[in-house]
Each structure stands twice: as structure tokens, then as C-alpha cells.
Amino acid sequence: MNNVAMIIGKRLGLGVLTMFMVSIIIFLAVNMLPGDFAQALLGQSATPEAVAAIRKDLGLDKPIHTRYFDWLIGVMQFDFGTSFAKANFSSYGGTAAAANFGTVADQIAPRFANTLFLAAVTAAIAVPLSLLIGVLAALYRYSIFDRIANISTLTSISSPEFFVAYVLILLLAVLNPVFPSLSNIHDGMDFTQKLQKTMLPALTLTLVVTAHMMRMTRAAIINLLASPYIEMARLKGLSPFRIIVFHALPNALAPIINVIALNLAYLITGVVVVEVVFVYPGVGQLFVDSVKIRDIPVVQACCLVFAAAYISLNLLADVMSILSNPRLRLPK
């Protein structure tokens, strides 16, 4: 047991180190920008006094390593700084009066909840579906069902998200108005309304993610079918369904859990395009909008949020696969 704790501890430590390095990369990348924050905020025509006042107020006159640690400490307390677009610097017209800041955290928090909701709905559809199709494809491998599943999943893996999204809009919103094509959810809606509006983006992501998970489930199970203990079960005269569900599946669980976690991590990036297509108010859309208007603090924060989610899901995948390996969990 000690052994496992040590491996997991090492892995977690490595994760924290990665997160730290990533935060340095993001911080440095943003600092490579020409000009600085204060100048960008006020524009070309600002007086030097006003620029200096904001620089002092935001701590931009300090050296870069001090600024980095200030930023990092802020981020730890969910303080991502001030958004360019939402900042109100009218009070800086010469005198440094109290300014009304629109903070990045205020913008991201509600959208992050929306993105999590979308990811949760997607996972709730995609995970059972892909397990079911994967098990069936392994059960009837090399049959017509398996071939159709293979070709259609290969097609949906290779299609860009927006192609799948627009085909779904065409079929389910324009020709047969089942779901709305605009997913403009807001806080006032109850759960069923939200779910109905979220359905099309969730279905799009499901199609993209299911394909990969299903293929890996099938491969993991088929991989095991050649092993002697499955041969034994077959010789005992068990039905193919029983062999796969009760004998092969528990041992294939480790790679499958790994793939599910990795695909959830993939959802994090896939969500960007899908949110833009459906105008879904999530972090992805905020990210793209901020990239377009070069709202650096928001870009920085979104990038960090996405990277953190990605790293922790990858970490989760690693820890789960360590935990589900009986040879590591139960040392002799």
C-alpha cells in the first residue's frame, strides 16, 4: 500500500510542478507583448502622468519576477486581475481617484459553471453510450455491425467539430425544430429549459468524443480476449455476453477509465469551437472573444483555467490507472 501512495504522491508532485511551469509560460508569453498593460488600456493619446498612475496602481513598475509572484498569489486566491474590456478608467483622467474595476474572476466564474454543465451533460450521454457500443462491437467483432460502427466512428473522429455542429443544426433545429440552435442559457432558467438549450452542443461533443472512447473500449476488450483465462471461460461453455461483461470488462477497466479521463480533457478544448457555434455562454466563447479584442488579462486567465483543467484530468487519468492496476495496488 505504501508503494502505491508513493507513486501517486510522486505523480501529484509532478502535476503541481507542471502547473507551476505552465503558469510561468503563460505569464512570460503575455509579457512578450509590445507596449504594456497601462499603455494598452489608455490608448496612444494618454498623458504620461495617467499612464504612470495606472502603472503604479497595478504594480507594473515592479521587476518581472515580483510581478509574477504577485500574479501567482492573486491567482491562488481566484483574483485574476482586471479585464481591459470591463475596466472603467474614466476616473483616471489625471487624478488617481478610486476606480471601478471589472474583475476577470467576475466574468469567468459564471461561465465556468456553464462550461462544466455542458461537459457534465456530454459526459452523462457519451460515457454510457460509448461503453455500450464498444462492448457490442467487441462482442460482434468483424460483423456488419462492427464494420458500420468502425467506419462511422472513424468518420466522426476525423470531422471538424463545426461540421458535426452544423449538420446537427440543419437536421435537429432547422428541418425538424426539436432543439434550439442558439444555446443562450442564463441563470433565470430552470433545469429542463437549460437542458433543452444545451442539448445540441452536448450532442455535437458527444459524437466527437464517443467515437474515440468506443474504439478504445473495443480495442481494450479484444486485446484481452486472446488471454488464457478467457479461453478457459469459453471452454467452460459460458455465453459470449457473459465472458465479455463479467470476465473481460473488469480487467479492461483500467485502460477504459484512462481513455474516459483523457477524453474529458479533450472536451475542454473541443468546447471552444462548439461554444462559438452555438453561442453558448461558456469559458471557451469568452476566450475567443477576448483573443479577438486582445483582452490580455482575460486571455491569460482563460488559458490558465483550461490548462489547469487539462492537467488535473490527465493527472486523474494517471492516478486512476495506477489505482486500478491490481499488481500495484496489492503488492506481494
Nearer to other proteins, 63 or 237 (CB): 237
> Burial, 219: exposed, middle or buried (Cβ in 10 Å; 0-12, 13-18, 19+)?
middle
C-alpha torsion 292→294→300→303, nearest 10: 10
In the bound state with other proteins, the residue whose beta carbon lies nearer, of 126 and 272, is 272
DSSP state of 172: I
Q: How many whole angstroms separate alpha carbon 207 and alpha carbon 185?
A: 22
**Nearest to other proteins of 68, 96 (CB atom):** 68
For residues 117 and 123, give the distance between their C-alpha atoms in angstroms, rounded to a whole number: 10
Q: Least distance from C-beta 133 to other proteins, angstroms?
A: 12
For residue 176, the minimal CB distance to other proteins (Å) is 10
Taking CA atoms, 258 is separated from 11, 67, 213, 263, 330, in Å, by 15, 38, 10, 9, 20
Least Å distance between CB 236 and other proteins? 16
Nearer to other proteins, 257 or 311 (CB): 311
Nine-digit cell at 256? 477504459
Let me know: does 195 contact 121? Beta carbons within 8 Å: yes
Cβ distance to other proteins smaller for residue 17 or 232: 17
Which of left, alpha, beta for 47 (phi over 0: left; psi -120 to 50: alpha)?
A: beta
Minimal distance in Å, beta carbon 183 to other proteins?
15
Three-state DSSP class for residue 228: helix
Q: What does the binding site for other proteins look like in residue numbers (CB under 8 A)?
A: 18, 21-22, 25-26, 29-30, 32-34, 136, 139-140, 142, 144-145, 151, 154-155, 157-163, 166-167, 169-171, 174-175, 239-241, 265, 268-269, 272-273, 276-277, 287-288, 291-292, 294, 296, 299-300, 302-303, 306-307, 310-311, 314
Residue nearer to other proteins on the CB measure, 4 or 238 = 238
Distance in Å, CB of 153 to other proteins, minimum: 10
Residue 332 Cβ vs other proteins, minimum distance, rounded to whole Å: 31
Q: CB 303 → other proteins: shortest distance, Å?
A: 5
Let me know: does 280 contact 201? Beta carbons within 8 Å. yes
User: Are 7 and 322 a contacting pair, CB within 8 Å?
Assistant: yes
Beta carbons within 8 Å of 214's beta carbon, 6+ residues apart = 129, 130, 133, 134, 137, 149, 153
